[in-house]
């Protein structure tokens, strides 16, 4: 390791990514993934999972009212 480093040409925040833009990886169990692919009718898994979660949120909202 050097005793000194030259940061005179450094760019602050160059690799900063706001937390709201970070995509979290979600790992599905093999049987769930297989079911989604089988019944997805050509739709990608991410869209299917998002649609299912939206429906669950809507149902939960109706039950809590």
Taking a C-beta distance cutoff of 8 angstroms, is the pair 28, 45 a contact? yes
Q: What is the pTM of this model?
A: 0.60
How much is the pLDDT for 13? Answer: 93
Q: Where are the domains of the chain?
A: 23-64
Look at residue 41 and tell me whether its pLDDT is greater than 90: no
What does the mean pLDDT of the chain come to? 91
Taking a C-beta distance cutoff of 8 angstroms, is the pair 45, 36 a contact? yes
pLDDT in tens, 9-29: 999 999 998 888 888 899 999
How much is the pLDDT for 23? Answer: 83
Helix (H, G, I), strand (E, B) or coil at 63: helix
Rg over alpha carbons for the chain, rounded to the nearest Å, is 22
Query: Token pair of 54, please?
Result: 């939206």
């Amino acid at each position: 390791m050097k005793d000194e480093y030259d940061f005179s040409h450094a760019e602050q925040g160059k690799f900063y990514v706001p937390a709201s833009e970070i995509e979290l990886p979600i790992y599905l169990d093999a049987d769930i993934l297989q079911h989604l692919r089988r019944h997805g009718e050509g739709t990608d898994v991410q869209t299917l999972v998002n649609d299912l979660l939206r429906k669950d949120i809507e149902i939960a909202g109706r039950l809590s009212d």
